[in-house]
């Protein structure tokens, strides 16, 4: 965040140093030498936040919207604002907020009690969170979204359009953002995302099977390309005026249309990498790389998990109780792995069968326009056709996951 203030508190200075001390800023440190600290102090401000408050106590949230606000639609998905995914329904954000208020009010009335101890208060909060989650999922599915995550992102886009005023607003929808491809540090990433969880699970051999069709396209975009696209869009629309009638430009920073990569490309890259570079466990022993089993239907997957893992686990649990906890460590380890797989399927399963392709014509026009203005400038590349996915996954992304995320 640009700033003219160079007076930092000790807390701001400490937290900012944690960020700029990472490898990601190596090129800038090398370029500016002793002037690096002053450059950061002149250009960047650390915003204070507290995890006990909603949104860290910050007044404005800044987030990267995922392209999957489209829900589970198939075919070509256009770059245009979203109102609802289901015909005959109209999503009104204010009405949804009012519905939440009424639901909370009804819960408060139902849970009114003279018992004011901490346990009762905690139970009320737990019940409220559960009810809100159920309401959110119900409303998401009513309008055609599979979960509240993408539903609330879609509502966020709508709110931006409604409250923009005269400020220029652009909606950028990247797909699954992966590690930096080229600049400034190939393979760098922060935070575990969809496919990274699968890679880590496979690396540790905690994942022997999963739900998915290997022929389905996994729409991913390297982090530096997503950032380049955002900066290009900001420059293009920086002088525009908003207004109630103005249409918010939408861009898809995606790869599924111009340079699709299937899950099989990702799996084979991971399989080959771990065969050639086997992982070593904490005890110093090599972790053998095994083949993964993929299921093309939810019913077959759940049947397999029930017969192969859940029933044996229940038997082991019973034996463990009869033997006074003799197999507790084994049971806890196997049960943890079982829950890990089921959690992944619950969260990421819907994306494993996603058959949509994201139209990126708006972004392609922007790319061509930039190329005409500065044909010699190769700094802000965001063309997915320049990526060799097998090479990228094998030599950049998977090694990056293991280096920065897999502890």
If pLDDT is split at 50, 70 and 90, which confidence band does 62 have?
very low
pLDDT confidence of residue 365 = 94
* Structural domain boundaries, residue 22: 10-57
Give yes or no: residues 181 and 34 share one domain: no
Let me know if residue 135 belongs to a domain: no
Give yes or no: residues 163 and 42 share one domain: no
Write the pLDDT tens digit of every residue in 289-310: 889 999 988 889 999 999 999 9
Buried b (16+ CB within 10 A) or exposed e, 269-287: bbeebbeeeebeeeeeeee
Mean pLDDT, the chain, as a whole number? 82
Let me know if residue 376 belongs to a domain: yes
Write the pLDDT tens digit of every residue in 363-405: 999 999 988 877 666 778 899 999 999 999 999 999 999 998 8
If pLDDT is split at 50, 70 and 90, which confidence band does 359 have?
very high
pLDDT confidence of residue 6 = 46
Give yes or no: residues 164 and 284 share one domain: yes
Let me know if residue 100 belongs to a domain: no
pLDDT confidence of residue 158 = 84
User: Exposed, middle or buried: residue 374 (CB in 10 Å: 0-12, 13-18, 19+)?
Assistant: exposed
pLDDT confidence of residue 63 = 39
Instruction: Give percent of the chain with pLDDT exceeding 90.
Output: 33
Task: Tell me how far apart the alpha carbons of residues 375 and 168 are, in angstroms, rounded to a whole number.
Answer: 26
pLDDT confidence of residue 2 = 39
Let me know if residue 97 belongs to a domain: no
Please state which of the ranges 187-196, 199-208, 382-391 shows the lowest mean pLDDT.
187-196
pLDDT confidence of residue 123 = 79
At residue 169, does pLDDT exceed 60? Answer: yes
pLDDT confidence of residue 3 = 41
pLDDT confidence of residue 288 = 86
pLDDT confidence of residue 254 = 95
Which has more pLDDT, 112 or 321?
A: 321
Question: Which range, 14-23, 68-77, 84-93, 324-333, is most confident?
Answer: 324-333
pLDDT confidence of residue 270 = 93
At residue 190, does pLDDT exceed 50? Answer: yes
Let me know if residue 28 belongs to a domain: yes
Let me know if residue 105 belongs to a domain: no
Instruction: Give percent of the chain with pLDDT exceeding 70.
Output: 82
At residue 236, does pLDDT exceed 80? Answer: yes
Predicted model pTM: 0.75
If pLDDT is split at 50, 70 and 90, which confidence band does 265 have?
very high
From residue 373, alpha-carbon distances to 239, 309, 368 in Å are: 17, 59, 9
Find where tokens 């080229």 sit.
182
Give yes or no: residues 201 and 346 share one domain: yes
Let me know if residue 121 belongs to a domain: no
Question: Which range, 86-95, 204-213, 362-371, is most confident?
Answer: 362-371
Give yes or no: residues 193 and 328 share one domain: yes
Give yes or no: residues 283 and 345 share one domain: yes
Task: Tell me how far apart the alpha carbons of residues 253 and 361 are, in angstroms, rounded to a whole number.
Answer: 10
Give yes or no: residues 48 and 152 share one domain: no
Task: Tell me how far apart the alpha carbons of residues 397 and 187 are, in angstroms, rounded to a whole number.
Answer: 5
Mean pLDDT within 96-117: 78
From residue 28, alpha-carbon distances to 21, 38, 307 in Å are: 11, 12, 55
Q: Which two tokens stand for residue 221?
A: 């975009």
CA atoms within 13 A on the CB side of 369: 12
Count of the separate structural domains present in the chain: 2
Q: What is the 3-class SS of the chain, one letter each residue?
A: CCCCCCCCCHHHHHHHHHHHCCHHHHHHHHHHHHHHHHHHHHHCCCCCCCCCCHHHHCCCCCCCCCHHHHCCCCEEECCCCCCCCCCCCCCCHHHHHHHHHHHHHHHHHHCCCCCCCHHHHHHHHHHHHHHHHHHHHHHHHHHCCCCHHHHHHHHHHHHHHHHCCCCCCCEEEECEEECCCCCCCCCCCCCCCHHHHHHHHHHCCCCCEEECCCCCECCEEEHHHHHHHHHHHHHHHCCCCCCCCCCCCEEEECCCCCCCCEHHHHHHHHHHHHHHCCEECCCCCEECCCCCEEECCHHHHHHHHHHHHHHHHHHHHHHHHHCCCCCHHHHHHHHHHHHHHHHHHHHHHHHHCCCEEECCHHHHHHHHHHHHHCCCCCCCCCCHHHCCHHHHHHHHHHHHHHHHCCC
Q: At 148, phi and psi to the nearest 5?
A: -75, -20
At residue 193, does pLDDT exceed 90? Answer: no
Mean pLDDT within 252-262: 95
Which has more pLDDT, 237 or 380?
A: 237
Q: At 41, phi and psi to the nearest 5?
A: -65, -35
At residue 273, does pLDDT exceed 60? Answer: yes
At residue 125, does pLDDT exceed 70? Answer: yes
Give yes or no: residues 211 and 322 share one domain: yes
pLDDT confidence of residue 80 = 75
Which has more pLDDT, 2 or 19?
A: 19
Which has more pLDDT, 376 or 165?
A: 165
- Residue among 368, 385, 360, 367 at smallest CA distance from 76: 360
Let me know if residue 101 belongs to a domain: no
At residue 126, does pLDDT exceed 80? Answer: yes
Give yes or no: residues 39 and 79 share one domain: no
Give yes or no: residues 166 and 306 share one domain: yes
Give yes or no: residues 25 and 78 share one domain: no
Give yes or no: residues 42 and 173 share one domain: no
């Amino acid at each position: 965040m640009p700033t003219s203030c160079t007076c930092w508190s000790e807390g701001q200075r400490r937290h900012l140093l944690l960020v700029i001390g990472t490898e990601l800023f190596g090129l800038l440190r090398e370029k500016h030498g002793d002037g690096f600290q002053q450059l950061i102090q002149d250009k960047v401000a650390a915003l204070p936040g507290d995890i006990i408050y909603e949104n860290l106590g910050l007044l404005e949230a800044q987030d990267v919207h995922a392209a999957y606000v489209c829900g589970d639609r198939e075919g070509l998905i256009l770059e245009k604002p979203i109102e609802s995914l289901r015909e005959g329904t109209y999503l009104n954000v204010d009405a949804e907020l009012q519905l939440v208020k009424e639901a909370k009010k009804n819960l408060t009335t139902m849970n009114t009690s003279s018992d004011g101890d901490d346990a009762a208060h905690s139970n009320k909060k737990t019940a409220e969170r559960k009810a809100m989650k159920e309401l959110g999922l119900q409303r998401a599915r009513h309008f055609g979204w599979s979960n509240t995550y993408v539903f609330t992102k879609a509502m966020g886009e709508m709110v931006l359009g409604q409250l923009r005023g005269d400020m220029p607003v652009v909606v950028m929808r990247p797909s699954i953002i992966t590690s930096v491809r080229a600049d400034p540090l190939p393979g760098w990433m922060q935070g575990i995302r969809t496919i990274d969880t699968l890679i880590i699970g496979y690396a540790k051999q905690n994942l022997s099977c999963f739900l998915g069709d290997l022929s389905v396209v996994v729409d991913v975009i390297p982090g530096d390309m997503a950032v380049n696209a955002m900066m290009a869009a900001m420059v293009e629309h920086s002088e525009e005026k908003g207004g109630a009638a103005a249409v918010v430009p939408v861009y898809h920073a995606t790869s599924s249309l111009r340079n699709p990569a299937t899950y099989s490309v990702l799996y084979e890259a991971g399989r080959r990498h771990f065969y050639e570079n086997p992982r070593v466990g904490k005890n110093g022993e090599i972790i053998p790389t095994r083949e993964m089993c993929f299921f093309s239907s939810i019913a077959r997957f759940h049947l397999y998990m029930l017969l192969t893992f859940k029933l044996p686990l229940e038997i082991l649990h019973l034996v463990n109780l009869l033997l006074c906890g003799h197999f507790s460590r084994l049971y806890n380890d196997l049960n943890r792995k079982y829950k890990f797989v089921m959690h992944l399927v619950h969260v990421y399963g819907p994306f494993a069968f996603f058959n949509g392709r994201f139209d990126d014509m708006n972004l392609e026009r922007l790319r061509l326009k930039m190329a005409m203005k500065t044909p010699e400038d190769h700094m802000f590349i965001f063309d997915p056709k320049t990526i060799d996915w097998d090479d990228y996954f094998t030599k950049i992304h998977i090694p990056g996951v293991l280096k920065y995320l897999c502890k």
